[in-house]
Amino acid sequence: MPQVDLQELKREYLEYLEIERNRSPLTVRNYDHYLEIFLDWSKAEKPGDITAACVRSFRLYLNRREDENGRKLKKITQDYYIIAIRGFLKFLAKRDIETLSSEKIELGKVKDRQVEFLEIDEVERLLQAAHGGKSENLRDTAILEILFSTGLRVSELVNLDIDKVNLKTGEFSVRGKGDKLRMVFLSTSAKIALNDYLLRRKDLSPALFVSLKETGDPSRLSARTMERIVKKYAVAAGIVKKITPHTLRHSFATDLLRNGADLRSVQEMLGHSSITTTQIYTHVTDKHLKEIYNKFHSDKE
């Protein structure tokens, strides 16, 4: 069988991810980026050029690589490169193209992921910091309430349109990672905050959250702007933790689990494709269980 150019095979692999695996455009772009860097670094031209020694040397390169500020790649970022390479090798094997077996490449052991979340009193302080009668306060309070009430990713929130949210039922569907559709629910306080904000809106923009321009049509808020909004009120509330919209997603999940929700249900509400991802929260609830044990269990003396 004649050797096929690796760049051509990479193109076919990316098309396979898009069509047959139904990966999102962002995922396909990321895989393209990781594989392009690997192929450029390795100078591999045909499948047989990808050897165990080649991949091992590339891993050393990633581990020692520094940016202009002397910062190294995070371990999880290094793993993304290796996952992309393994996926590419599996694809080649399915095509009966002789190359390195993907099973010979193992992911490096990484430390347990640390989850930063807010305690309920901190959430209340954050929300209180945003309260006020101005349009900006109403909008920002609604943003914070929805993030904590639904566990939405900031990318999901910025793409929401007004007509997609049912304020009467307090529920709506959202399309998340991997084009996966799920149902999310609004708390009573979130519904009130969102209704107050929308009553103040006079523009015709379909976007749920917009900039508050005095003249001209408002623009849809970006993820970066929402990050700045969350950080602004965290500082105002005197919260010293590093707070982002994703922190409120973690807080949503932690609050559910602490109050008795099962892991599988939380997985569905977060839109995780694998329960393994949701399990990052279990160590948080385990600590909470220990606190309850120490408080309520009597030792025999």
Catalytic residues: 153, 177, 246, 249, 272, 281
Query: Residue 251 CA to chain centroid, in angstroms?
Result: 14
Spatial CB neighbours of 3, under 8 Å, sequence gap ≥ 6: 46, 47, 48
- Mention every residue, 6+ apart, whose C-beta is less than 8 A from residue 37: 81
What distances in angstroms separate CA 116 from CA 176, 245, 247, 252, one per listed residue?
22, 11, 6, 11
CA dihedral angle for residue 176, residue 79, residue 225, residue 231, rounded to 10 degrees = 110
Angstrom distances, CA of residue 102 to CA of 39, 91, 113, 150:
16, 9, 25, 38
Of 64, 79, 80, 84, give the one whose Cα is nearest residue 110: 79
Token pair of 102, please? 């993907």
Query: Phi and psi dihedrals of 85, rounded to 5?
Result: -65, -45
User: What is the rounded distance in angstroms from the CA atom of residue 184 to the CA atom of residue 171?
Assistant: 6
**DSSP H or E segment with residue 182:** strand 181-185
d(CA 89, CA 235): 47
Q: What's the rounded Cα separation, in Å, for the pair 198 and 47?
A: 57
133 Cβ contact list (under 8 Å, min separation 6): none
Dist. CA 146–CA 144, nearest whole Å = 6
